[in-house]
Structure 1
C-alpha cells in the first residue's frame, strides 16, 4: 500500500471512525491517523473545517478536507 496522502482525524470510542477505518483498510488504502484527543494541532484543524466542532472522522486527502465522508467520497477525492 502506498500512502496517497490520506489523513484521518479520529478519537477513541468513535463508531463512525471505526467503520471508516475498516472500509479504508478493506479498500487497501494507506492512511495516517491523528487522534484529536492527543494532538492539539489535529483538533484545531478539525475545528477549522467542521464549523468549530470536533466532528470525526474528518479526512484530509491532499488539500481536500471532508467531514464524516464515505469511502466512495474518499476514493473520488483521490481521482
Structure 2
C-alpha cells in the first residue's frame, strides 16, 4: 500500500526543495508557483485522483449485474491518469480496481494481457480492452 504513495511524496519533497532554493535566491513568488505545481502534480499521481478502489472480485460481480465497465489501474500510470481526466465526472460510473492494492486485480490484468500488468485495462461485458480510447470508454458507461 505504501508503494502507491512513493511518487507523490517524492514529488512534494522535490518541489519543496526546489521552492526553498528559489525562495533563498530572492524569488518568493516563483517559489510559491513551483511548490503549487509540484503539489498538483503529486495529487494527480496519487490514488486520491481516482474514484475509490475496491477489490477485483466485487466489481466483476457488480459489472455482471449493472453492466458498468471495470477499470484496472495503478497510481503513477500516465495512461491511467489520462483516462481518468478525460472521463471527468463520468469516471464515478465505472468500477475502479487498483492493481497495486489488490493481488487478484493484478492477476486479472495479467490474465487479460498475456502476463503483463499493462494498465489501464478496461473490462466491458467480460471482455478486456488494454489502454482503450477514453471516448470509447465514456460511451460504454451507463
Shorter-chain TM-score: which interval?
0.7 to 0.9
Which one has a larger percent helix, Structure 1 or Structure 2? Answer: 2
4+ long deviations beyond 4 Å: 75-78
- C-alpha RMSD of matched pairs (Å): 1.9
Equivalenced residues, count: 75
Higher-Rg structure is: 2
Looking at structure 1, the residues matched to 100 and 70 of structure 2 have their Cα atoms a distance apart, in angstroms, of: 15
Which one has a larger percent strand, Structure 1 or Structure 2? Answer: 1
Q: Is the 8 A contact 2:120 2:130 kept in 1?
A: yes
CA deviations on 1:18-75 (whole Å, 9 max, x unpaired) are: 010111225x351111010110110000000111000000001121210011123325
Q: Is the 8 A contact 2:73 2:80 kept in 1?
A: yes
SS of alignment partner, residue 69 of structure 2: strand
Task: List aligned pairs for 1:46-57, cutoff 5 A.
Answer: 46-57=109-120
Aligned partner (choices 15, 18, 22) of residue 85 of structure 2: 22
SS of alignment partner, residue 5 of structure 1: coil
Give the alignment's TM-score, normalised by structure 2. 0.47
Q: Unaligned stretches of 5+ in structure 2?
A: 1-65
Confirm whether residue 34 of structure 1 aligns to residue 92 of structure 2. no
- CA drift at 1:6: 1.3
Q: Which has the higher relative contact order, 1 or 2, with Cα contacts under 8 A spaced 6 or more apart?
A: 1
Q: Unaligned stretches of 5+ in structure 1?
A: none
Moved more, 37-46 or 61-70: 61-70
